[in-house]
């Protein structure tokens, strides 16, 4: 079984305006609807778990029922889980819910609702690569020169950009091993985690790197949101 864990618990504090970015509209849809549609329609995704605040769940359910043809919402949606204090705690609570119906050797695909341009091909590539290892994540090469500075004021050293990558989502992991990797970080260390693959790397899991997709950007800032809205609202801007 392959389970998609869709993270939609972010509060959008960097965006301002009160409404979290994943629940804003672009192209006549909520932003979360774009990734939902791709995940539910993918033939290799057997179940979908969504981490979201209770206040938004009715709207998400309505969105799913409307978007998913042929009963995909009713067949694949397994439930909501609560978001945590940070992204990784949201992941952990989702994993606990997923373990209620999935097996240890099954795979969990973690994706952000704020990455609306995830493609079916990227999902397939992640799942296929993970099954040859213990997990997989898409990455992009660094185009700029990269420096290290611990104080943010002076340069300590130049990093070799050919060895540095930008991580993306979705990230796929063997459920049992990944869950245990997160348990080891409770209760405090998990609050320091910024990326889903960090616990897997810390636990020594074999994680494959696969080519990412420049289109699959994350909406983090107001500028990102404006860019996405422009893309979706121009003629022919529908998601491909």
pLDDT of residue 68: 73
3-state secondary structure of 203: coil
The percent of residues in the chain predicted with pLDDT above 70, rounded, is: 94
pLDDT of residue 16: 58
Q: How many helices (H) and strands (E) does the chain have?
A: 8, 12
Instruction: Give the start-end residues of each E strand in the chain.
Output: 2-7, 25-26, 29-30, 47-51, 77-81, 107-112, 135-141, 146-148, 157-159, 165-167, 171-174, 207-211
7-48 residue pLDDT tens? 999 776 555 567 899 999 988 899 999 999 999 999 999 999
Residue 238 has pLDDT above 60, yes or no: no
pLDDT of residue 236: 56
Question: pLDDT: is 222 or 130 the higher one?
Answer: 130
pLDDT of residue 47: 98
Please, which pLDDT band fits residue 240 given cuts at 50, 70 and 90?
very low
Q: Are 165 and 137 in contact (CB under 8 A)?
A: no
The model's pTM is 0.93
59-108 residue pLDDT tens? 999 988 887 777 899 999 999 999 999 999 999 999 999 999 999 999 99
Average pLDDT, the chain: 93
3-state secondary structure of 137: strand
């Amino acid at each position: 079984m392959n389970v998609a864990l869709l993270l939609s618990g972010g509060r959008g504090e960097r965006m301002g305006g009160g409404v979290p970015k994943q629940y804003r509209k672009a192209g006549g849809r909520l932003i979360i609807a774009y990734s939902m549609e791709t995940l539910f329609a993918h033939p290799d995704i057997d179940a979908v778990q969504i981490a979201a605040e209770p206040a938004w769940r009715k709207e998400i359910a309505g969105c799913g029922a409307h978007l998913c043809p042929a009963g995909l919402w009713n067949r694949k949606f397994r439930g909501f889980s609560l978001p945590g204090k940070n992204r990784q705690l949201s992941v952990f609570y989702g994993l606990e819910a997923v373990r209620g119906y999935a097996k240890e050797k099954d795979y969990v695909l973690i994706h952000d609702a704020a990455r609306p341009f995830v493609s079916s091909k990227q999902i397939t590539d992640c799942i296929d690569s993970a099954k040859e290892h213990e997990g997989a994540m898409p990455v992009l090469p660094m185009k700029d020169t990269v420096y290290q500075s611990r104080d943010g004021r002076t340069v300590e050293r130049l990093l070799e950009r050919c060895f540095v990558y930008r991580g993306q989502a979705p990230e796929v992991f063997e459920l049992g091993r990944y869950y245990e990797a997160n348990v080891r970080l409770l209760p405090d260390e998990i609050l320091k985690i910024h990326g889903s693959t960090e616990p897997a790397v810390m636990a020594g899991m074999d994680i494959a790197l696969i080519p990412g997709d420049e289109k699959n950007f994350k909406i983090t800032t107001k500028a990102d949101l404006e860019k996405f809205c422009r893309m979706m609202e121009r003629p022919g801007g529908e998601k491909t």
